[in-house]
Amino acid sequence: MRIATWNVNSVTARLPRVLAWLESTGTDVLCIQETKTTAEQFPSEELRELGYESAVNATGRWNGVAVVSRVGLEDVVRGLPGGPEYEGVEEPRAVSATCGPVRVWSVYVPNGREVDHPHYAYKLQWFEALRAAVAEDAAGGRPFAVLGDYNVAPTDDDVFDRSLFEGSTHVTEAERAALAALRGTGLTDVVPRPLKYDHPFTYWDYRQLGFPKNRGMRIDLVYGNAPFSKAVTDAYVDRDERKGKGASDHAPVVVDLEV
């Protein structure tokens, strides 16, 4: 079974690539972030023609997440139970579903913007709500994983140059403590293989030759519980998908499971 997570930066703009990628990789379950559509505009019909069902939580221009599966899609939950609002709005940043033997969440963690910005406090609150919401499944006996764009680099090695991130979000102690608390529920970071260079970055800024210079970050993560992690046979970053015209600024993270 092949499960992946991919921040597509607009599923509308990325649709040809997403469809071709699903076909060429034979991915069974894809967790999507930043759909940048409403649920009505999500390309459920095009995906259905390829044999995939879609669970979507999306409201328009910003954010938006989905789980796309060709191995079943049941018990869909849209949103983060107990999650905080931002400026009075409950943003579409989480959706979960059971796909065959595995339960997955697709999450798009708030960016935080700046350390002294309200969005950063919101980010930390969001993490705490996520921890509480997944604790039971994380400790359970069924393969379970939280996949998505976490907007945190777990270690200093997960950014291309730590010195450039001094005082920035994504590398702070509080954000990493939030990740550690999430792992404390029983989840493990399933670190993918890099297909080139020595570190599995998943994101490269569009600007200033970020990708050709490999000035990347590893912020798209797969956190699996013990039954999930035990079943992993391979994991890699499909950096080829970051190449060329019409690429997202994130590459897919792919996990193969023997379940």
Widest Cα–Cα separation across the chain: 47
Neighbours of 247 (CB within 10 A): 18
Smallest distance, Å, CB 151 to DNA?
5
Q: Is 119 a catalytic residue?
A: no
Six token digits for residue 127? 């993490």
- 250 a known binding residue? yes
HSE of 72, CA atoms in CB hemisphere, 13 A: 10
Q: Which residue(s) pair with 108 in the sheet?
A: 149
Torsion sign (Cα): 80, 83, 88, 94 = negative
List the catalytic residue out of 108, 122, 150, 203. 108
List the one residue from 32, 217, 221, 237 that touches DNA (CB under 7 A). Answer: 217
Site stretch for DNA (CB under 7 A), options 77-85, 137-145, 183-191, 240-248: 240-248
125 in contact with DNA (CB under 7 A): no
List the one residue from 49, 156, 205, 234 that touches DNA (CB under 7 A). Answer: 205
Site for DNA in 28-47 (CB under 7 A): 34, 36-37
93 in contact with DNA (CB under 7 A): no
Which residue carries 């102690």 as its tokens? 173
Query: Which is nearest to 144 in space by CA: 231, 51, 49, 30?
Result: 231
Which residue carries 């069902």 as its tokens? 53
Q: Is 86 a catalytic residue?
A: no
193 in contact with DNA (CB under 7 A): no
Six token digits for residue 93? 């940043």
3-state SS class at 118: helix
Which residues in this chain contact DNA in the complex, by CB under 7 A?
Answer: 7, 9-10, 12-13, 34, 36-37, 60-62, 110-111, 113-114, 119, 149, 151, 168-170, 196, 203, 205-209, 211-212, 214, 217, 219, 243-246, 249-250
Residues noted as catalytic: 108, 149, 250
